[in-house]
Structure 1
Amino acid sequence: MRKELTRTKQALDEETVRKIIETTAYGVISLNGDDGYLYTVPLSYVYADGVVYFHGSPRGYKYECFQRTDKTSFSIVGQSQVVPSVRANNFQSVLIWGRLQTVTDTAEKLYALRALAEKYSPGISDNEEEIQHSLNYVFMVKLVPEWITGKQASLEVREAAEKF
């Protein structure tokens, strides 16, 4: 696993990285697919207590791929803006490397489902009813980060974007 950014001047500070992880609606995860192919799929998620939680159906191709993947990377694009004058993208992104673990503990699963509900449907009166209903059939997995990096466009691109 490559840990260090090549272009260190483009590294995001920890606070910006955390904000991107906490507020972005989805990211793309890489899983082991069939016949040696990677299966990359966009997923909604929630970041809570230092781990990333995903949920889904306990059947189907995505579920199968989660079952055969231990190490993974998860990519989040927090910002993307094409800047034609410099033929570049003014971006901010985060990459999380880590290990996947199936969540089997009921209390942790409830915690993650509540965190997901709060992120994606805050203030909805029947969130708890839906959470209790889905508790027994939802598949829950967590990504325990081993390394997190954040990167942004070069200063030249960021400055050009301000003029755009």
Structure 2
Amino acid sequence: MIRSMRRFKQALPLDACKEALKNGRRGVLSVIGDDGYPYGVPINYVYDEKENALYFHGAKEGHKIDAIKKSGKVCFTVFDEDYKEDGDWAYYVKSVIIFGRAKVVEDEKETLRMTRLIGLKYYPTVKEVDAILERTRGRVQGVRVDVEKMTGKLVHEK
């Protein structure tokens, strides 16, 4: 069971959570690692609102992929740049946490589609995206996280 947020008065509406996920550049993916220890790793990603899924890619083997294959339960956290309002000393920070099930994508066409979406988010031109996809084809492992729960919060640190 996934717990409800305790500080519900600081909760962000769902549309603000989705916007933060779409605009975020990096987040921390946490998996159930070796011997049950949590393993958190920063990743680049893209959020597909239509599918309510998070996509990322990486090497075809390693700690992260092994953990996902063993137990697909994951948590992903993203937070934006903190800011202060004029005349205030304390910062505001917006964060979003998702819980979901990750699965390694076996279909090469689906992996290509996902990595293209990721590339379009981070690279300045389609030409550069196509070039990197051509160089890395067949060497990249796509992963899809189906979102089961999403919560967000705006904290004023005072």
TM range (shorter): 0.7 to 0.9
Structure 2 segments unaligned to the other structure (5+ residues) = none
Aligned to 1:80: 82
Q: In the alignment, which of 136, 139, 155 is matched to residue 137 of structure 1? A: 139
Deviation at residue 67 of structure 1 after TM alignment: 2.3
Amino acid at match of 1:105: D
Amino acid at match of 1:22: K
**Counterpart contact for 1:79–1:93, Cα < 8 Å:** no
What is the distance in 2 between the residues matched to 1:86 and 1:60? 45
Aligned to 2:21: 21
Instruction: Choose 92-101 or 65-74, whichever is displaced more.
Output: 65-74
Describe the SS at the equivalent of 2:2: coil
C-alpha distance 150-31 of structure 1, shift in aligned 2 (>3 A): same
Deviation at residue 132 of structure 1 after TM alignment: 3.1
Runs of 4+ displaced beyond 3 Å: 85-89
Aligned to 2:5: 5
**Counterpart contact for 2:27–2:43, Cα < 8 Å:** yes
TM-score (norm 2): 0.85
**Counterpart contact for 1:25–1:45, Cα < 8 Å:** yes
Describe the SS at the equivalent of 1:65: helix
**Counterpart contact for 1:44–1:54, Cα < 8 Å:** yes
Q: In the alignment, which of 146, 153, 156 is matched to residue 155 of structure 2? A: 153
**Counterpart contact for 1:28–1:75, Cα < 8 Å:** yes
**Counterpart contact for 2:56–2:115, Cα < 8 Å:** no
- Structure number with greater Rg is 1
Aligned to 1:33: 33
Give runs of aligned pairs for residues 97-136 of structure 1, distance below 5 A.
97-136=99-138
- The Cα offsets for residues 57-99 of structure 1, whole Å up to 9 and x where unpaired, read as 112333323322311111111233489x988642100000010
What is the distance in 1 between the residues matched to 2:141 and 2:96? 25
What is the distance in 2 between the residues matched to 1:138 and 1:108? 12
**Counterpart contact for 1:92–1:150, Cα < 8 Å:** yes
Deviation at residue 13 of structure 1 after TM alignment: 1.5
State the identity as a percent: 31
Amino acid at match of 1:80: D
Instruction: Choose 74-83 or 36-45, whichever is displaced more.
Output: 74-83
What is the aligned-residue RMSD (CA, Å)? 2.4
